[in-house]
Amino acid sequence: MGYDLAMRVWRGDADGGELRDFTVEVEEGMVVLDAVHRLQATQANDLAVRWNCKAGKCGSCSAEVNGKPRLMCMTRLNLFDPGETVTITPLRTFPVVRDLVTDVAFNYEKAEEVPTFAPGRPTGDDGHHRMQQVDVDRVQEFRKCIECFMCQNVCHVLRDHEDKKKVFAGPRLMIRYAELEMHPLDTNDRRDLLREEAGVGYCNITKCCTDVCPEHIKITDNGIIPLKERVADASFDPIAALGRRLRRH
């Protein structure tokens, strides 16, 4: 059954913009992205919106819906009361390109700073690498990240302190570091980088990132806290520090 949906959508660009009201005819079973597409098709042909898979897997369609970061393609309209206005705004932490599209280049620039996977010599007698299933599972959780950047968007260090973007990479990148640092076959040591360049110490464990992750990655408990512990071991334990220094020589 169809009904009229009241929508309020942010329109504008880097120079500024405003919320505009629309009424869009929608049908039962539609998601927010469907309503945006209907709006685009019928009333606002030039509305900029980023999307790709429409299956919650590409991470492109993140926006703030009624003030909460969501994947628009996975947010059903029946989540809202009929008659309630659905307000859609771009992710606040990143600069607006146009309408609902933001420039998320910051995340890719930070990703370039992370040393890549560097496997050591094969651990098996047959020349193959071997690792325990428990290690596979640990790393696999982090690899579920779809780079929707909603965790970056809600992280108050990045959201409320523009200057901290220079010194803190944010939860998405912490998960990238965790994926590599906790890989038993990897030989790179990123702990100094984590502390000095990625700024792991700036995270104060409010867990807002974990709350919004659409893949339910336990970003704080399984990623950031163990990374903090590893960095603390490396930086503040004199015996561990001496061991690392000796290994380097």
Q: Is 52 near ligand FES (CB under 6 A)?
A: yes
CB 173 within 8 A of CB 179: no
Q: Cα dihedral sign for 91, 96, 101, 107?
A: negative
Q: Is 40 near ligand FES (CB under 6 A)?
A: no
Q: Is 76 near ligand FES (CB under 6 A)?
A: no
CA distance 226 to 233: 10
| Options 36, 39, 71, 157; binder of ligand FES; rule CB under 6 A | 71
| Options 8, 11, 20, 54; binder of ligand FES; rule CB under 6 A | 54
Task: List own/partner pairs for 24-31 with CB under 8 A and 24 or more apart.
Answer: 26/2, 26/77, 27/1, 27/2, 28/1, 28/2, 28/78, 29/76, 30/76, 30/77, 31/72, 31/73, 31/74, 31/75, 31/76, 31/77
How is residue 88 written in tokens? 């859609």
- Part of the chain binding ligand FES (CB under 6 A), chosen from 58-66, 134-142, 166-174, 196-204: 58-66
Beta carbon nearer to ligand FES, 74 or 232? 74
Beta carbon nearer to ligand FES, 6 or 58? 58
Q: Is 88 near ligand FES (CB under 6 A)?
A: no
Q: Is 59 near ligand FES (CB under 6 A)?
A: yes
Q: Cα dihedral sign for 163, 167, 169, 174?
A: negative
- Number of residues binding to ligand FES, judged by CB under 6 A: 12
CB 132 within 8 A of CB 123: no
CA distance 218 to 236: 26
Beta carbon nearer to ligand FES, 7 or 61? 61
Q: Is 63 near ligand FES (CB under 6 A)?
A: no
Q: Is 30 near ligand FES (CB under 6 A)?
A: no
- Part of the chain binding ligand FES (CB under 6 A), chosen from 45-53, 85-93, 137-145, 170-178: 45-53
Positions in the binding site for ligand FES (CB under 6 A): 51-54, 56-61, 71, 73
